[in-house]
Homo-oligomer: A and B are copies of this chain.
Amino acid sequence: MSGNKNNFQLRVYYEDTDVGGIVYHANYLKFFERARTEWLRDKGITQSFFLEQNMGFVVTRMEIDYVASAKLDDLLIVTSLISEYKRASLVFSQKMTDQNQQLICSAIVRVAFVDLSKSRPCPIPKNILGALERVS
C-alpha cells in the first residue's frame, strides 16, 4: 500500500440494495467514506480521536459518476488517492470496481478539516498532513 494510494475491499449486503435490484445510489457514498476512513486508520489516524477534540473531516463537495451498478453479494474494491493537499482541506479521487474489474463508479471528494463546535474550517494538524503525504 503506497503512501498516497489505498485499496479497500467490501461486500454488498441486502441493506445496500434497493427494489431496482442494484445498490442504492446514496450508499456508494458510504463505501467511499469507509475506504477513506480505513486509509486514515492505516496511517494511525482515527476519527474518534479527532471527535473527542470536537474536530473532524467533513465532506464539502462531491462529484460522482455512476458507470455501472453493483449488485447483492458483489465484492467491491475502492481505490483512493489524494489528489490535492491544502492547509485545511484534501481532495480524494476514488474509484470503485467489482470482482470482474468492471468500473462501478468514480468520485472526487473534497473534505475540509472542521472545528465542529464552531462549524468552521481549521488547519489540518501538521503531523496528520505529514502522515498522509508520506509514501510508506
- Which residues of A does B touch, CB under 8 Å? 11, 13-15, 17-22, 24-27, 29-30, 33-34, 37-38, 46-48, 51, 56, 58-66, 68-69, 71-73, 116, 119
- On chain B, the residues within 8 Å of A61 by CB distance are 63-66
How many copies of this protein are present in the complex?
4
Mostly, the A contact residues are: mixed
| Cβ contacts under 8 Å, A72 to chain B | 19, 47-48, 51
What separation, in Å, do the CA atoms of A47 and B47 have in the docked complex?
26
Is there an interface contact between A15 and B24, defined as CB atoms closer than 8 Å?
A: yes
Does the CB pair B13–A33 fall under 8 Å? yes
Q: Which residues of B contact A18 (CB under 8 A)?
A: 14-15, 17-19
